[in-house]
Amino acid sequence: MKLIIFILIAASSAYSQSERSIINEGNRKYKENKYIDAEVNYRKSLEKNKDSQYGTFNLGDALYKQEKYEEAAEKFKIAATKEMDKETRAKAFHNLGNSLLKTQKFPESIEAYKNALKLNPKDVDTKYNLEYAKMMLQQQQQQKQDKKDQKQEKQEQQKQDKKEDQKQDQQNQEQQNKEKQEEQKQQQAKQQEQKISKEDAERLLEALKNEEKDVQKKLKKKAPARITIEKDW
């Protein structure tokens, strides 16, 4: 991206010596890369004449060099609307495009470059910057689309994960229910087994009692006769 540096020199007799001297001092500071000092002088010139086309345009350049791109864009926009020759207005639109480009306002910067080319169709630098801005706009739109696609993909994945979680929860619940039913069956079988064992034990005990009674009866029937022993005195 190329910036057209076009420091306007207030040479017209229509301006007071004080305003011209302030702008010229700002120009000297600008050429010395003292952009803050240059900005101060250009602002002073605008205090003398708020409609100064020279002070406005040059202030935009000084702000741009300090990377104050939004402020610079405001000044170049004002300068582009002032009554100046086509070449100077074209340069103002060019630098306006550069300032907007720096803040990633690509559609606006493209419009500014197109306005510059309307005034100066042969400006190679503006043509180059216009194509660059178009390319950056395409990249920006592609990035937005990619982010949108990624967001949708993420949402779909979250939905799928949620379904999988619900399915897993259902399977877990079914497994728990199955295990619970199996446990209940085992408990019932154990209780039944314990019940049967108790009944068997009672029947066995009863059988033993009955058997003992039978033995007692038999013994009574077969009891031995008493033997009397006579004493021999």
Lowest-confidence pick of 8-12, 123-127, 152-156, 197-201: 8-12
Residue 153 is assigned to a structural domain of this protein = no
For residues 110-123, average pLDDT: 96
Residue 143 is assigned to a structural domain of this protein = yes
Phi, psi values for residue 51, rounded to 5°: -95, 15
Burial class (CB in 10 A: 0-12, 13-18, 19+), 134: middle
Residue 89 is assigned to a structural domain of this protein = yes
- 206 compared with 63, residue with greater pLDDT: 63
Report the C-alpha dihedral over residues 13, 17, 22, 25, rounded to 10 degrees. 80
Residue 213 is assigned to a structural domain of this protein = no
Q: Considering the entire predicted model, what is its pTM?
A: 0.63
Residue 28 is assigned to a structural domain of this protein = yes
100, 126 Cβ separation under 8 angstroms: no
> Is 16's pLDDT higher than 70?
no
Q: Of the candidates 120, 73, 81, which has an alpha carbon nearest to the alpha carbon of residue 101?
A: 73
Total structural domains within the chain: 2
For residue 116, what are the domain limits? 75-148
46, 78 Cβ separation under 8 angstroms: no
Residue 161 is assigned to a structural domain of this protein = no
Alpha-carbon span 43 to 151, nearest angstrom: 47
79 and 39 co-located in one domain: no
45, 26 Cβ separation under 8 angstroms: yes
pLDDT of residue 169: 87
Instruction: Show which of 148, 170, 192 is a domain's final residue.
Output: 148
53 and 79 co-located in one domain: no
Instruction: Show which of 7, 40, 66 is a domain's final residue.
Output: 66
85 and 22 co-located in one domain: no
52 and 96 co-located in one domain: no
DSSP string of 159-179, one letter each residue: HHHHHHHHHHHHHHHHHHHHH
42 and 91 co-located in one domain: no
> Is 228's pLDDT higher than 70?
no
Residues 146-157: pLDDT tens digits?
888 888 888 888
**Domain CATH number, residue 135:** 1.25.40.10
pLDDT range class, residue 14, cuts 50, 70, 90: very low
Q: How far apart are the first and last CA of the chain?
A: 160
Residue 169 is assigned to a structural domain of this protein = no
Residue 79 is assigned to a structural domain of this protein = yes
139 and 103 co-located in one domain: yes
- 193 compared with 74, residue with greater pLDDT: 74
